Structure 1
Amino acid sequence: MSEIASSLTNTTKPKTSATLTVRVIKSFKFRTEKSLVLHNIDLTTTTVAQLKETSRKAVQTQPGWKPYRNVQLDTLKLYTKAHGAKTSNLIINLDNDDWILRDDAKTLEDLGFENETEVSFFHLPDYTEFQKNPETSWAC
């Protein structure tokens, strides 16, 4: 392994103990999101459905998430992998709809997740509506 590859954070932790960032999106228009950092996720056994459930449970039970508790979180979409290119949109990658995680039975490893992968978690109808007119606003 090259010296550079061995120092990248996505390869320093085993796939059985990864750190993931879940961008929980409340509003696309107002760019309202909060990042949920999950530690010690086993990418080899954790499924998309389990990641959704873990994230929902954190939003419902952890302090600081009250404004997000009424959002119907139903869809995950890959945002970026560690050291990968990021989109210009600050909360979701509007390109690559094939990055939406539609198969709840797939493991995160099967989907190419690595340590420090970031995903967006949102309500699919809100995302579909935002795609039609991806304008953002500032709250008054």
Structure 2
Amino acid sequence: MDVPVVVTVRLIRSFEQRNYKPVVFQQVSLEQTAQDFMRCVRDDIATRPGLPPPFREYRYDTMKIIHQAHGAKTNELVMSLDDDEKLILQDDQTLRAAGVANETEVGFFRKDDYVFYKANPKTTW
């Protein structure tokens, strides 16, 4: 049975400047694919009130699990750079199969930015 859950999506504009905005999504079906969920998030943030235009218009293309409810948190301020194989959501995978559960926090970012930052993880703050 598919029980809708709450997922927090951290919209990450810049890893170097720690520029991100958390957005809470309720009634999320874990049976949808990661690709479908990303499309829903993009559609929602395009018109969400109170979200600055730079966050609305950014070309997000990748999601990664940041934190599970009742789990250990990373020391990284924006997102952990570890376990990409396990934590990055695959487009055709259901959210449940990817490990998303109630009160999971996922990062939504541009993969090119992440790869660049991971190669040289320095902040400009």
2-structure distance, mates of 1:41, 1:70: 22
1:48 lines up with 2:48 in the alignment: no
Deviation at 1:15, TM superposition (A): 5.1
1:3 equivalent in structure 2 = none
By how many angstroms is 1:73 displaced?
0.2
- Residue 100 in structure 1 maps to residue 65 in structure 2: no
Residue 84 (structure 1) aligned to one of 41, 46, 71: 71
| Cross-structure match for 1:61 | 47
Structure 2 gaps, min length 5: none
* Aligned partner (choices 22, 27, 39) of residue 26 of structure 2: 39
Give the whole-Å Cα distance in 1 for the aligned partners of 2:58 and 2:36: 18
TM-score by length of 2: 0.92
Over the residues paired in the alignment, what is the CA RMSD in angstroms? 1.4
Is the contact between residue 12 and residue 19 of structure 2 (CA under 8 Å) also seen in structure 1? yes
> Which consecutive aligned stretches of 4+ in structure 1 deviate over 3 angstroms post-superposition?
none
Do the aligned partners of 1:75 and 1:100 also contact (CA within 8 Å) in 2?
Answer: yes
Give the TM-score of the pair, scaled to structure 1: 0.82
Per-residue CA deviations over 1:102-132 (Å, capped at 9, x if unaligned) read x212111112221001110000000000011
Please point out which of 121, 125, 129 is paired with 2:112: 125
Aligned residue pair count? 123
1:92 offset after TM fit, Å? Answer: 1.1
Unpaired runs of 5+ in structure 1?
1-13
Q: Which residue in the other structure is 2:100 paired with? A: 113
Name the larger-Rg structure.
Answer: 1
- 42, 54, 61: which one pairs with 1:74? 61
SS of residue matched to 2:95 = coil
Quick one: percent identity of the two aligned structures? 40
Structure 1 contact 15–114 (Cα < 8 Å) conserved: no
